[in-house]
Amino acid sequence: MYAALKSIGAYVPEKVLTNKDFESMVDTTDEWITKRTGIKERHIAADDELTSDMGVEAAKVAISRAGLEIDDIDMIVCATISPDYFCMPSTACVIASKLGRSNVTAFDISAACTGFIYALAVAKAFIESGMKKNVLIIGAEKLSAIVDYTDRTTCVLFGDGAGAAVISATEDKSEAITDIHISADGNYGDLLMTPGCGVKNPCSEKVVEEKLATMKMRGNETFKIAVRTLTSDVVNILQDNGIEAKDIKHFIPHQANYRIIKAVGDALQLAPEQVVLTVGKYGNTSSASIPMAMNDIWESGRLQQGDTMLLDAFGGGLTWGSALLPFAGKSAN
């Protein structure tokens, strides 16, 4: 039995925060943000809109596009670093409940921006082992809830949103997810972290005053490791599978920074039309960025059944990963 990606869906919250908006919030300019990151705007969830709510909306779209009902789903995996609740219940359990599905396997994955690729690997393993048939994987983030809007080095980067995909069992090898690499190096954990409200620095007045429950990043060091690691990772997955970069129809990288994406794309000598770019309009939405980008090209008709996709992500942990797979769902038109 093989595992195939049968559908994609996404949810983008309504409110937009532009670079210009940030000019009155912190010491920054539209020019700096655009030049250093490629970001022009990002979407921000409403106050009462939770990570699970966005995950539910994306999930409904993905389930319907797969031609399934919620009761056909036998496992729900949610990748997030901005869960509804600290520790429990998991956001996957909340999503299952809001979708009206009980008695289902449901759990979260914490692999930061690489979360969607980790979730894809877990779904593939469960399906290939015969344990599950239809796995719903979700990347959902309300990063605006864990951003320090007085820190110009991080606040301009992040946005909110969700993406979801249905991974199903198939006997057709041409539909199968070809390969997935996932990796981590915890020695670099302090480059990108939320130091507060865990067991090490339990929630306290000090944690609140010093904003320790918000994201802290040593951006420039992270940038250099990201470019190096992502490039070697995609080169390795292509070599391992005897595939040349020119045969990739869509390179769908994590959308953290246009310059990182360009550096990796150039190293692979990819043509601009092979590279999917949504960082300009969504910013960095962590685990949601790859499925949101995949959904964008599906809805615009660019992603067609059978197209070869190369996914690539890097994030806190540090974690990184890549995946090579055909799009096994129906085309939008």
Write out the two tokens for 107.
């759990």
Q: Which helix (H) or strand (E) holds 8?
A: strand 2-11
Which residue among 93, 113, 155, 197 is the active-site one?
113
Judged by CB under 6 A, which of 118, 282, 314, 327 binds ligand UT7? 314
Where are the alpha helices (H) located in 170-306, listed in sequence order? 205-209, 219-240, 258-267, 279-282, 289-299
Q: Could you tell me which stretch among 48-56, 174-182, 255-263, 301-309 binds ligand UT7 (CB under 6 A)? A: 255-263
Judged by CB under 6 A, which of 118, 126, 223, 282 binds ligand UT7? 223
Verify binding: residue 257, ligand UT7, rule CB under 6 A: yes
Query: 3-state DSSP helix/strand/coil percent for the chain, to nearest 5?
Result: 40, 25, 35
Q: Which helix (H) or strand (E) holds 76?
A: strand 75-79
Residue placing its CB nearer to ligand UT7 in the complex, 291 or 329 = 291
Nearest distance from residue 303's CB to ligand UT7, in Å? 23
Write out the two tokens for 59.
């999930």
Judged by CB under 6 A, which of 209, 220, 272, 333 binds ligand UT7? 220
Verify binding: residue 277, ligand UT7, rule CB under 6 A: no
Verify binding: residue 280, ligand UT7, rule CB under 6 A: no
Verify binding: residue 315, ligand UT7, rule CB under 6 A: yes
Tokens 């990739």, residue located:
248
Where b means 16+ CB within 10 Å and e means fewer, 46-67 reads eeebbbbbbbbbbbbbbbebbe
Residue placing its CB nearer to ligand UT7 in the complex, 214 or 222 = 222
- Bond preceding residue 318 cis, omega within 30 of 0: yes
Q: Answer yes or no: are the C-beta atoms of 171 and 2 closer than 8 Å.
A: yes
Q: Could you tell me which stretch among 12-20, 28-36, 43-51, 94-102 binds ligand UT7 (CB under 6 A)? A: 28-36
Verify binding: residue 82, ligand UT7, rule CB under 6 A: no
Site for ligand UT7 in 98-157 (CB under 6 A): 113, 152-153, 156
Total number of residues binding ligand UT7 (CB under 6 A)? Answer: 20
Residue placing its CB nearer to ligand UT7 in the complex, 40 or 98 = 40
Verify binding: residue 287, ligand UT7, rule CB under 6 A: no
91-98 and 51-65 helices cross at what angle (nearest 10)? 60
Nearest distance from residue 25's CB to ligand UT7, in Å? 10
Judged by CB under 6 A, which of 75, 123, 165, 226 binds ligand UT7? 226
Judged by CB under 6 A, which of 28, 110, 194, 232 binds ligand UT7? 28
Euclidean distance between the first and the last CA atom of the chain, given in angstroms as a whole number: 28
Q: Which helix (H) or strand (E) holds 139?
A: strand 134-142
Strand order of the β-sheet with 179-184 is: 179-184, 319-326, 308-315, 250-253
Residue placing its CB nearer to ligand UT7 in the complex, 7 or 114 = 114
Verify binding: residue 32, ligand UT7, rule CB under 6 A: yes
Q: Answer yes or no: are the C-beta atoms of 88 and 106 closer than 8 Å.
A: no
Which residue among 19, 134, 284, 295 is the active-site one?
284
Whether residue 254 lies in the annotated active site = yes
100 burial (CB, 10 Å; 0-12 / 13-18 / 19+) is exposed
Q: Could you tell me which stretch among 31-39, 55-63, 167-175, 197-205 binds ligand UT7 (CB under 6 A)? A: 31-39
What does the binding site for ligand UT7 look like in residue numbers (CB under 6 A)?
Answer: 28, 32-33, 36-37, 113, 152-153, 156, 219-220, 222-223, 226, 256-257, 260, 284, 314-315
Any idea which residues carry the catalytic annotation?
Answer: 113, 254, 284
